[in-house]
Amino acid sequence: MNQYSFLCEHTCRNTCSALTRALQYETALVRLSEEVIQQCDDADIKEFMRDLARNSSENVIRIMQKMNEVQARTQILDGIANSFEPHTMPPAKPH
């Protein structure tokens, strides 16, 4: 498997491995773009990299929003499932 290969686990709980992986790549792209901007002398390339960094930063935000939605949905479904579980009565205290 190379560094870009991905195999969905299908067992995500409160988070999604695909979204986590995408977040890692987008964050790395922002960091790379920032490094290039600092080191590059070409104004055209620097502007292009600023644009890439801006787009990746927006993608990071979108991915994080989607991860929050997944977590909220899981919590709601857990709450619904828990409401159907039989509740046991606490043991009676001896008098």
For the chain, how long is the longest CA-to-CA vector?
85
Tell me the Cα Rg of the chain: 23
Q: Average pLDDT for consecutive 10-residue bins of the chain (95 residues)?
A: 65 75 94 94 95 95 92 79 68 64
pLDDT of residue 55: 95
pLDDT of residue 92: 65
Does pTM top 0.75 for this prediction? no
Return the residue matching tokens 């046991």.
88
As to burial, measured by CB atoms within 10 angstroms (0-12 exposed, 13-18 middle, 19+ buried), residue 26 is: buried
pLDDT of residue 50: 95
Find out whether 50 and 37 touch, Cβ atoms under 8 Å: yes
